[in-house]
Structure 1
Amino acid sequence: MERVAEKTKAKTKPAVGIEVFIFLAIFVGIFLYLGKAMGAVNMLNTMMNTGYQLLIDTVLYILAIAVLAGAISGLFTEFGVVALINKILSPLMKPLYALPGASIIGVLATYLSDNPAILTLAKQTEFKRYFKKYQFPALTNIGTAFGMGLVITTFMIGIKNPAGGTFIIPALIGNLGAVIGSIVSVRIMLFFTAKTFGKEESCVQSDIEHQMGGNEREIRSGSLGNRILGAILDGGKSGVDMGLAIIPGVVVICTLVMMLTNGPSASGEYTGAAYEGIALLPALGDKLRFILEPLFGFTSSKGVAVPITALGAAGAAIGLVPKMVQDGIAVGNDIAVFTAMCMCWSGYLSTHVAMMDSLKCKELTGKAIFSHTIGGLCAGVSAHWIYQIIATIF
């Protein structure tokens, strides 16, 4: 009882302390900076109009994709496609990731949904038995690297380029880049965890050998038609939950990022219309172009806004892409890099802490974030150079 009470006890701070004044200084400073450039009325109007446009044009589109992707993933799970992929890909996990084959289930779970999906597996003893103690914390890294993968990939493919074509090949290249980034992230994390726990201790102490999943899988009751409808509706419902969950990230984070990314209207003046801003991030991107160009090959310095946004929310990050494509500042290479980095990072700064705490490894949170930062950068670099090589050959 004491342990439960200690765990649930809320953290407290003085009602009025130095934190209050630091926060107010930063908060007021941001709005003064924006208001000075745009005018207070224009700033507020742009903020509200941009949030509204993002909600209508972007969030509802992502929500529709999430519902369709959820329905497909439900069918894949119900009729054994996921189990088949698990059997086929399990032998690759040890040489690539130095993780047991059972971890591929975590990859599939997060790819079809979101980062925290791997936590439901991590709570199952039958799943944990396959892991050494030093391997278990790396589930956070491998799960996050594929979070929202299906939604992000489908979204990128659905964007039309100015010529009317799609970005199928760049999106698939982005997936490959995310795989490379995930390998780097997991391997770095395992280096740290091996030093902490050693490589011998098992996650679950038992003399009994268990086989993950065996040769059976659980299915819905009822006729074939009922199973199909149940899988589609339950999967679609999970897509609705995911689509609703991204609304705060898209509306809040994306609004702020776009105000820091875009410039004034075409006339050069601020009117309070949606998508106006002070162009701060492009200015910073121009300063760093000598680094960003060879690493990621962004067509425009504005492209840096996408991976920066992905640090907090992948849904918000992909919401920036259609307008960039429409404006001609994002092409195939950019889509490949965006896909790789949005998948690999997928809001890890906002999920890593909670995920590591759920795995009871919160003391390793800093190392997990560091490892995944490097992994996400490698994902973007890999996608860029793979795209360049393929473009040269074909």
Structure 2
Amino acid sequence: MESKEQSQEQVKERADITEHPNIKKVVSLESFVFMACFAVLFGVLGTKMGAINMLNTMMQTAYQLLMDTVFYIMAIAVLAGALSGLFTEFGVVAIINKILSPLMKPLYDLPGASVVGILATYLSDNPAILTLADDQGFRRYFKRYQLPALTNIGTAFGMGLIITSFMIGITSPTGESFVGPALIGNLGAIVGSIVSVRLMLVFTAKEYGKTEYCEVEGINAIMYTDYRMVRPGSAASRFMSAMLEGGKSGVGMGVAIIPGVVIICTFVMMLTNGPSETGTYTGAAYEGIALLPAIGDKLDFILKPLFGFASSQGVSVPITSLGAAGAAIGLVPKLVKDGMATGNDVAVFTAMCMCWSGYLSTHVAMMDSLGYSKMTGKAIISHTIGGLCAGVAAHWLYVLFSMIG
């Protein structure tokens, strides 16, 4: 009898295991599909470049990206982190919040408190919105259909300060300043964010209606509108603490982007660049099979009027930003140096890198954290369209400002 009960329990446990979403059979279709894709990718690269050259180029490119790009981005992140820490500590962010809050309802159909999320993600990264959304005092301002859109609006401004600072700091071989294009790119990102959020709200309103507020536990959220938290001590000690702690967060962000920049950028560059100047493969850094430009040439009749790219290789930047904004901006200096990107391209890159900022790698986790996993597909669709609109808006705004200037 006891043996039969144990057997039934084992069957039940086995059924529970097989129903677990993160457990798969040892042998499944997924494994064979992955191996096929893996073999095709490295087969194409190896056949075109030669196996030894492919491996040497991969390692050399990864090393150059780490030394020349990652540490530069980290330095920018440290400075941007220190600046954001000071702005938060001494009330600049709070004042901006007060000024911008009345615009949120007509532009985004979101409560004024959501501007805090914009500022938080602009000064840091996409997931910063989740810390706010988890706070009962912040949630109480939102209706249920509005809360999932925080993923879209937060992602649209993720790493904004770092991306903008990085673009401004790029040196143009013609002496062109990229301050204007970077700021125009910010305007493009705003347009993209409005499109993304508004589309998302259409989906969520159909699902949840427009009347029900988010459930909260009655915590007073007055600090989000009338008060702000500061560090203890004198103004001088607060200044030093805010600056150093902000810089420290920049170091953390700089370290966090290393895998994305090194891995994604390496493969994107190998798919973007061609062989050496002699037309042969030598195993040097930044060589590749020029696949993405070939695709870009085929789509040039669409890309040119929409984004105005100076070169078909420019398409590699927004494609990379789908997975990692840090990796995407790492591609820009070389494009500018080689004359393949101009001020218009920088404006478009800024807008799309900000608006997309690696959303394919964060949207699923963010929607799950908010408790709206079933709306993830809608969020991704909305944000894909929003990012494209951001690039188009940046291009035509750049054309308009160039005509006026």
Q: Under a length normalisation based on structure 2, what TM-score does the superposition of the two structures give?
A: 0.94
Match status 1:80 vs 2:102: no
- 1:126 and 2:140 equivalent? no
Quick one: distance in 2 between partners of 1:224 and 1:384? 43
- The CA deviation at 1:208 is 8.5
> What SS does the aligned partner of 1:202 have?
coil
SS of residue paired to 1:13: coil
Aligned to 2:236: 225
2:221 pairs with 1:182: no
Give the secondary-structure state (helix, strand or coil) at the position aligned to 1:328. Answer: coil
* Equivalent residue number for residue 42 of structure 1: 53
- Number of aligned pairs? 388
Within the candidate set 122, 128, 131, 1:117 is matched to 128
Q: Is the 8 A contact 1:170 1:333 kept in 2?
A: yes
Q: How far apart are 1:18 and its partner, in Å?
A: 2.0
What value does the CA root-mean-square deviation take over the aligned residues?
Answer: 1.4
Deviation at 1:22, TM superposition (A): 1.4
**2:259 matched residue in structure 1:** 248
Q: Tell me, what secondary structure is at the counterpart of 1:274?
A: coil
1:259-274 paired onto structure 2 within 5 Å = 259-274=270-285
Shift of 1:245: 0.6
Report what 1:23 is aligned to: 34
Residues 330-341 of structure 1: matches in 2 within 5 Å? Answer: 330-341=341-352
In structure 2, what is the Cα distance between the partners aligned to 1:98 and 1:146? 17
Q: For residue 148 of structure 2, give the secondary structure of its aligned residue in structure 1.
A: helix
Matched letter for residue 308 of structure 1: I
Q: Which moved more, 1:318-327 or 1:164-173?
A: 164-173
Q: What's the counterpart of residue 4 of structure 2?
A: none
The corresponding residue for 2:115 is 104
Gaps of 5+ in 1: none
Cα separation, partners in 2 of 1:10 and 1:185, compared to 1, 3 Å? closer
Quick one: distance in 1 between partners of 2:256 and 2:172? 28
* Residue 290 (structure 2) pairs with residue 275 (structure 1): no
Alignment of 1:1-394 (within 5 A): 11-204=22-215, 210-211=221-222, 213-394=224-405
After TM superposition, give the deviation of residue 16 of structure 1 in Å: 2.0
1:210 Cα shift?
4.9
Classify 1:38/1:90 alpha carbon distance in 2 versus 1 (closer, same or farther; 3 Å).
same
Distance (whole Å) between structure 1 residues aligned to residue 242 and residue 314 of structure 2: 38
Residue 126 of structure 2 aligns to a residue whose secondary structure is coil
Task: Verify the 8 A CA contact 1:141 1:368 in the aligned structure 2.
Answer: yes
Q: Distance in 2 between matches of 1:15 and 1:102?
A: 48
Q: Deviations over 1:125-149 (max 9, x none)?
A: 1100000000000000000000000
What amino acid is aligned across from residue 378 of structure 2 in structure 1? K
Q: What CA distance in whole angstroms lies between the structure 1 residues aligned with 2:219 and 2:322? A: 42
Equivalent AA in structure 1 for residue 127 of structure 2: P
The list of structure 1 runs, each at least 4 consecutive aligned residues, that deviate by more than 3 angstroms after superposition, is: 205-212
Per the TM alignment, residue 17 of structure 1 is displaced from its structure 2 partner at its CA by 2.0
Cα contact 1:102–1:212 (8 A) shared by 2 = no
**Residue pair 1:178, 1:379 contacting (<8 A) in 2 also:** yes
Aligned residues with identical type, % of pairs? 71
Report the alpha carbon displacement of residue 213 of structure 1 after superposing the two structures with TM: 2.2
CA contact (8 A) 1:127 1:212 kept: no
Cα distance change of structure 1 residues 39 and 92 upon mapping to structure 2, 3 Å threshold: same
Ranges in structure 2 where 5+ consecutive residues have no aligned partner: 1-15
CA deviations over 1:167-193 (Å, ceiling 9, x no partner): 000000000000000000000000000
C-alpha distance in structure 1 between counterparts of 2:183 and 2:128, whole Å? 22
Return the offset for 1:209. 7.2
Q: Is the 8 A contact 1:298 1:334 kept in 2?
A: yes
Bigger shift: residues 225-234 or 107-116: 225-234
CA deviation after TM superposition for structure 1 residue 336, in Å: 0.2
Distance 2:152 2:263 in 1: 26
Paired residue secondary structure (1:320): helix
1:212 Cα deviation after fit = 5.1
Cα shift readout 1:217-242 (whole Å, capped 9, x = no counterpart): 11111122211110011101110111
Larger Rg: 2
Using the TM superposition, give the Cα deviation of residue 163 of structure 1 relative to its aligned residue in structure 2, in angstroms.
2.3
